[in-house]
Amino acid sequence: MNPDQARELMRKVLRPIAPEADLNNVLANERIQEALDLDSVDFLEFVTGLSAATGLEMPERDYAQLSTVEGCIDYLTSPH
């Protein structure tokens, strides 16, 4: 997966959770949860959706890496 595909996957997963959210308005190092006003359940649904879409196991210890756009893209594009 390349960075553009990772960003598009993030948008696709966010759409049903926060339809009004615009990932384009989130800075690379800004926390997704705060920038898009997601509560903890929404963020968990986001991570679960990414995991389901990619087949990657995303343990709770990795959530910090997934908390920013840049971190999420790095996580999704790195070899596992």
Calculate the dihedral angle through the C-alpha atoms of 24, 52, 76, 18, rounding to the nearest 10 degrees: 20
CATH of 3-77, one of 3.40.50.720, 1.10.1200.10, 2.40.50.140, 1.10.357.10: 1.10.1200.10
User: Which one-letter amino acid corresponds to residue 14?
Assistant: L
Write out pLDDT tens, residues 37-73: 999 999 999 999 999 999 999 999 999 999 999 999 9
**What is the share, in percent, of the chain residues with pLDDT greater than 90?**
96
Cα separation, 41 vs 66, whole angstroms:
15
Mean pLDDT of 24-34: 94
For 78, the token pair is 């790195």
Closest CA to 14 of 3, 26, 22, 6: 22
